[in-house]
Amino acid sequence: MKKIIFNAIFISAFLFAFLTVSHAYWIWTPESKKFINPKYAVKDSPKEQFDWAMGFYDSKDYQRAAAEFEKLTKHYEYSEYASKAQYYVGLSYENMGKYYTAFQNYQKAIDNFPHIENIDEIIEREFNIANLYASKDNPKVLGVDILTSLDKAVEIYKKVVDNAPYGKLADEAQFRMGEALKRAERYDEAIEAFQKLIDDHPTSRLADQAKYEAAYCAYKASLKPAYDTMTTDKAIKAFEDFTGSNQDEELSRDADEIVRRLKEKNAEKAFSTAQFYERQKRYESAILYYSDVIDKFPETSFANSAKARVEDLKRKLKK
């Protein structure tokens, strides 16, 4: 019995020493019959909790401020202070340079409190964070882009647009989303992004540029090794549509030059196919492809050569 009492006293003394010396913040509460740490406890009212959190924010202890504001949103989620606290969670993380976490918390403020009074400011902060990620160089793993920054930029730009589809930043966010996708060489998605701007904001100052960029992405897609003539034809049509409606002379000149190169490329492909059939002595098929060059691409450098080959092959067929 004495041994049991001794052990109990020893354990109690150890716990007391541990909790009062090593963890001086822990105190015993008779009401709950538990040890609690005031550092982690929530205040008795949402206003007290908000003011408590603001004290840390004002002293630039953003880590602690974020934790205290989060407590308020958790324990007083239906109070008038909850939406403002959620905003300050995002603001605290932004001040710490943890931009993606800041965005996530700003978005949580919009999702959980759609009528939050400073929604325009929050959307603008998200937009600025997206710009930051869009401007970063992409990290590389073994020399290969992993596109982390651009992926985040695209995600945040999309949220900016979704949050306010016709807001003051919607067209620019949509355009920059397309630019980020273009940089990531995700050309089909970039074309869709630029086209959405054209469709949803036809009077935007960025609409003409978006038409050019959509055509340019179609052009870049046509340069990939697995390209086909349909991809190139799509790019040609996009640029021709652009030059037909655009007022920017410089962009029109660029578009005309790209169309010329694309047609040259298609002409070369058709000419090479004709040469293949000619080597196989399948002259009728060769004439068809040479004629294709003449009819579809008369302004290219291959047109005159194609005419000469057609005349020569027709003479051979007559013999």
pLDDT digits (tens, 9 = 90+) for 76-87: 999 999 999 999
pLDDT value at residue 71: 97
What's the pLDDT at 201? 96
pLDDT at 122: 98
Would you give the distance in Å from CA 26 to the centre of its chain?
46
Cβ pair 117, 86 in contact under 8 A: no
Q: In this predicted model, what pLDDT tens digit does every residue of 38-86 receive, in sequence order?
A: 666 889 999 999 999 999 999 999 999 999 999 999 999 999 999 999 9
Give the pLDDT confidence of 252-278 residue by residue, as tens digits: 788 888 878 888 888 888 898 889 888
pLDDT at 145: 46
Note whether 111 and 128 are within 8 A (CB). no
Radius of gyration of the CA atoms of the chain, in A: 33
Would you state the pLDDT for residue 249? 77
Closest CA to 201 of 164, 163, 241, 171: 171
Residue 216 vs residues 6, 170, 224: alpha-carbon distances, Å: 84, 22, 13
DSSP 198-225: HHH-TTSTTHHHHHHHHHHHHHHHHTST
Which pair of tokens denotes residue 76?
A: 């007083």
What SS3 state is found at 28?
strand
Q: Please, what is the end-to-end C-alpha distance for the chain in angstroms?
A: 125
User: Residue 26 has what pLDDT?
Assistant: 53
pTM of full prediction above 0.75: no
Torsion from C-alpha of 213, 202, 156, 66, nearest 10 degrees = 140
In the chain, which residues have pLDDT < 70? 1-40, 138-147, 225-230, 244, 246-247, 319
Q: What is the pLDDT of residue 155?
A: 97
